[in-house]
């Protein structure tokens, strides 16, 4: 376990007009990506490491924490978020909970390189 657990921070981001939604997210000082979060569009994310994943990993692709941040900033519902995940070059494996306050639904996605 790294030193990150000692210094968590809740960040709030307000983009320039026309560049997505405002959102808050869990992160660490100096860490640019999101761990968990909630956007003003009503999309919420929460992740859990996939300990028993047996597939492949790749260092080539979009870092997962940037993908989550992009979901919070740009996606307006759960379906947009799932489409973003499906169409990105994933690198690692974890479970991602995606909630949508408009449809009052929640899905769990197995996020992995494969």
Q: How far is CA 101 from the centre of its chain?
A: 16
Question: Is the Cβ–Cβ distance between 45 and 68 less than 8 Å?
Answer: yes
CA angle at 110 for the pair 5 and 6, rounded to the nearest 5°: 0
Nearest residue to 94 via CA among 81, 113, 80: 113
Q: Is the pTM of this model over 0.85?
A: yes
Give per-residue pLDDT as tens, 41-77.
999 999 998 999 998 888 899 999 999 999 999 999 9
Report the CATH superfamily, name and number, of domain 3-111. Penicillin V Acylase; Chain A (3.60.60.10)
Dihedral (C-alpha) 37, 98, 64, 27: value to the nearest 10 degrees? 20
44-69 core/surface letters (b: 16 or more CB in 10 A; e: else): bbbbeebeebeeeeeeeeeebbebbb
Give per-residue pLDDT as tens, 6-45.
888 999 999 999 999 999 999 888 888 898 999 999 999 9
């Amino acid at each position: 376990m790294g030193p990150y657990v000692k210094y968590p921070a809740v960040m709030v981001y307000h983009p320039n007009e026309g560049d997505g939604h405002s959102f808050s997210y869990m992160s660490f000082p100096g860490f640019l990506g999101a761990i968990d979060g909630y956007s003003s569009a009503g999309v919420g994310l929460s992740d859990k490491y996939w300990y028993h994943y047996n597939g492949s990993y790749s260092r080539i692709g979009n870092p997962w924490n940037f993908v989550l941040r992009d979901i919070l900033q740009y996606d307006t519902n759960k379906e947009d978020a799932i489409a973003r995940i499906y169409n990105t070059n994933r690198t690692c494996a974890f479970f991602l909970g995606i909630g949508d306050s408009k449809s009052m639904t929640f899905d769990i996605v197995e996020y992995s390189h494969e």
